[in-house]
């Protein structure tokens, strides 16, 4: 059965069926059957139309990826884990400074003790995130 134009579907009978898939010899294609119910322009009737959808699934050779070197560098940079190491080093320095400052206080208050507790307690979270963020 030959393909019909959308204008031909309006003038034909209620159930227009196109059942033969058109596949070109150049590339393999997948054919999917799709049923669409479209309301008529007058709003009084609906018609069912069966369409054959042709999808080209052939692999196209686009040549070498121009971004391959940048992608390789990004993966290497991620493997080096520079940012997590910078963050953990900064935390170690901050922890050292806060503990030295706290030990030099003549009479620490509750607020100062709370600050040191928060900084020291954050170390467990930082260390857990650092060790748990490795590539699998």
Q: What confidence score (pLDDT) does residue 95 get?
A: 92
Q: What confidence tens digit (pLDDT) does each residue in 14-35 have?
A: 444 444 454 444 555 555 666 6
User: pTM score, two decimals?
Assistant: 0.46
pLDDT digits (tens, 9 = 90+) for 54-98: 888 888 888 888 899 999 999 998 888 888 889 889 999 999 999
How far is C-alpha 60 from the geometric centre of its chain's CA atoms?
Answer: 23
SS (H, E, C) the chain: CCCCCHHHHHHCCCCEECCCCCCCCCCCEEEEEEEEEEECCCCCCEEEEEEEEEEECCCCCCCCCCCHHHHHHHHHHHHHCHHHHHHHHHHHHHHHHHHHHHHCCCCCCHHHHHHHHHHHHHHHHHHHHHHHCCCC
Q: Where are the domains of the chain?
A: 6-56, 68-132
* Closest CA relative to residue 120, chosen from 82, 97, 108: 97
Token code pair at residue 88: 């953990």
How many degrees, rounded to 5, is the angle at CA 98 between CA 93 and CA 104? 130
């Amino acid at each position: 059965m030959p393909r019909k134009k959308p204008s031909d579907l309006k003038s034909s009978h209620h159930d227009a069926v196109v059942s033969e898939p058109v596949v070109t010899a150049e590339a393999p294609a997948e054919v999917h059957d799709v049923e669409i119910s479209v309301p008529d322009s007058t709003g009084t009737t609906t018609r069912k139309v069966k369409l054959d959808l042709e999808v080209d699934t052939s692999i196209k050779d686009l040549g070498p990826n121009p971004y391959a070197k940048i992608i390789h560098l990004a993966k290497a940079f991620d493997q080096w884990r520079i940012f997590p190491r910078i963050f953990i080093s900064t935390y170690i320095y901050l922890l050292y400074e806060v503990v030295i400052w706290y030990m030099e206080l003549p009479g620490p208050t509750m607020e100062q003790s709370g600050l040191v507790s928060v900084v020291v307690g954050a170390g467990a979270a930082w260390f857990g995130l650092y060790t748990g963020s490795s590539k699998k």
